[in-house]
């Protein structure tokens, strides 16, 4: 899926009942992510750690939705194992898991790898993760192989970046975390700086003499 493409609507059965994706999304952001299979070690850590951080996602107006090709009852049974392994999950398991037994959604959302994309019987979803904005468009995607678990702190970091840059004419540099300096977009004219960033702007002198590295903490 290409960035800024409209994320398709779909209906699905989940551990929290049937959903229509657009209605479920509402005016929120969403992290839609797939895992290869229930009752597997890395997936248990991933869904568990994401559940542990559910309040951090809520602070950012982000809903969570997981997908795999397992049966609905398998998901429900597995949740008990996840909660047992990650004892710091608050309350009930906090987000729905889609049962995509026929792999129709996995194909629609391009969540199968090249070797298994045509295997409608046994193909497993890779560790795909999509961040969808309230405008129903794809804002960011991450795709990991079966062997590599995802980093929840990185997911939260990129959400912070996406939400900030949706409101301000800035970009976040490498290794940025909230509170660090951000980069002002090259499209912002020099005469606009004091109005847009009254807290101050630092311009970095470069050997080229071109003033394109401009930073600020005014956000």
Residue 115 annotated to the active site: no
Residue 135 annotated to the active site: yes
Instruction: Give a three-class secondary structure readout of 135-170.
Output: CCEEEEEEEECCCCCCCHHHHHHHHHHHHHHHHCCE
Cα gap 205→207, rounded to integer Å: 7
Choosing from 43, 69, 70, 100, which is the catalytic residue? 43
Instruction: Give a three-class secondary structure readout of the chain.
Output: CCCCCECCCCEECECCCCEEHHHHHCCCEEEEEECCCCCCHHHHHHHHHHHHCHHHHHHCCEEEEEEECCCHHHHHHHHHHHHHHCCCCCCCCCCCEEECCCCHHHHHCCCECCCCCCCCCCCCECEEEEEECCCCEEEEEEEECCCCCCCHHHHHHHHHHHHHHHHCCEECCCCCCCCCCEEECCCCCHHHHHHHCCCCCEECCCCCCCCCCEEECCC
Choosing from 20, 135, 153, 202, which is the catalytic residue? 135
Report the catalytic residues: 43, 135
């Amino acid at each position: 899926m290409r960035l800024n493409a409209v994320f398709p609507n779909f209906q699905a059965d989940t551990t929290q009942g049937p959903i229509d994706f657009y209605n479920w999304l509402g005016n929120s952001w969403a992290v839609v992510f797939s895992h290869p299979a229930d009752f597997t070690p890395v997936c248990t850590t991933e869904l568990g750690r994401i559940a542990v951080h559910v309040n951090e996602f809520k602070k950012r107006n982000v809903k969570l939705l997981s997908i795999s090709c397992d049966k609905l009852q398998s998901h429900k049974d597995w949740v008990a194992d996840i909660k047992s392994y990650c004892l710091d999950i608050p309350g009930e398991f906090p987000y729905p898991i889609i049962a995509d037994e026929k792999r129709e959604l996995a194909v629609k959302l391009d969540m199968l790898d090249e070797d298994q994309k045509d295997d409608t019987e046994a193909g497993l979803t890779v560790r795909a993760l999509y961040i969808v904005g309230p405008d129903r468009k794809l804002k960011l995607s991450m795709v990991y192989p079966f062997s590599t678990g995802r980093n929840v702190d990185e997911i939260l970091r990129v959400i912070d970046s996406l939400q900030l840059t949706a409101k301000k004419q800035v970009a976040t540099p490498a290794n940025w975390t909230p509170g660090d300096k951000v980069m002002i977009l090259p499209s912002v004219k020099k005469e606009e700086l004091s109005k847009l960033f009254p807290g101050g702007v630092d311009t970095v002198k470069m050997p080229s003499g071109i003033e394109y590295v401009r930073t600020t903490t005014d956000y």
